[in-house]
Structure 1
Amino acid sequence: MSFGKRLLEARKKKGISQEEMAAMLGTKGPAIGRYERDEMKPSIEAASKMAKILEVSLDWLVGNTDVELDTATLNRIQDINKLSPKDKELVYEFLDSFIANRKIKNVLQ
C-alpha cells in the first residue's frame, strides 16, 4: 500500500479531516489531498509529525512494515525494553503463555 493510501486510511480512522490535519501540520488542506493521492511526498519531518498526529509508527506510514503499531503499543514495547533482562523474560513468558492460550481457545471454538 502506498504512503498516500496509508495516510488516508489512518486519517479517516482517527476521524480527522484534511483541513484539520493541515492545520496541525501548519499547511493547507489541498497539500494533504496531494499526499493522499501520491502526487506529492512530504518531508521526513512532515511525515514524522503525521505519524505522531495519527498515532501510528512512521515505519508503517511510509510502508517499511505492514505491522500497524499504535502509539500505546509502541510505548509499551519501549517500557518493556527498559526492564532488566530478568523482568523482560518474565513479561515474554507471560505473553507467550497468554497468546498460546488464546490460540488454543480459538481453535476449540
Structure 2
Amino acid sequence: MSKDFGNKVMQARKEKDLSREELAKLIGTSGPIIGRYERGDMMPSVEFATKIADALEVSLDFLVGKSTQTVKDKSMLARLEDIATLPKTKRLELFNVLDAYIRDFKTSKSYATK
C-alpha cells in the first residue's frame, strides 16, 4: 500500500507542477521526507496524509487507492457530500436523472460527426 500511496502522491504532485520541496513547504515538512513517502520508504501520519491530499487537491481515498478518480473540483465534492445526506428515495431519483443525462450525452456524442 505504501508504494501505491507514494505513486499517487507523485502523480498528483507532478500534475500540479510542484517540486517535492514546494509540496513539503505547503504541508510543513521537508523535500526528502516527501521523497521517502513517494518511494514507499515510509508512510505519513493520517494528519500529514490529509495535508498532502488537501495541498494536491485530491481526496485521501484517491491517495490510499480506494478511488481511481481524483476530485479536483471542490464544488463537485461538496455536491457529492450533499447528495450523500439525501434520503435514499431522493438519491435514487437524482441518480435516475443523472443516468439518463449521461446516457443521452454518450449517445449524442457517438452520433456526432467529426
Whether TM-score is above 0.5 comes out as: yes
Instruction: Provide the aligned length of Structure 1 versus Structure 2.
Output: 109
Quick one: which of 8, 12, 15 aligns to 1:13?
15
User: Which residue identity lines up with residue 104 of structure 1 in the other structure?
Assistant: T
Structure 2: runs of 5 or more not aligned: none
Q: Contact between 1:21 and 1:29, CA under 8 Å: does it hold in 2?
A: yes
Identity fraction in percent: 41
Match of 2:79?
76
Match of 2:105?
102
TM-score, scaled to structure 1: 0.82
Identify which range, 64-73 or 92-101, moves more after superposition: 64-73
Q: Contact between 1:48 and 1:58, CA under 8 Å: does it hold in 2?
A: yes
Which runs of at least 4 in structure 1 moved beyond 3 Å after TM superposition?
Answer: 81-91
Q: Which has the higher contact order (CA 8 A, sep 6+)?
A: 2
Match of 1:2?
4
RMSD: 2.1
Q: Distance in 2 between matches of 1:58 and 1:71?
A: 14
Quick one: which of 35, 43, 46 aligns to 1:44?
46
Structure 1: runs of 5 or more not aligned: none
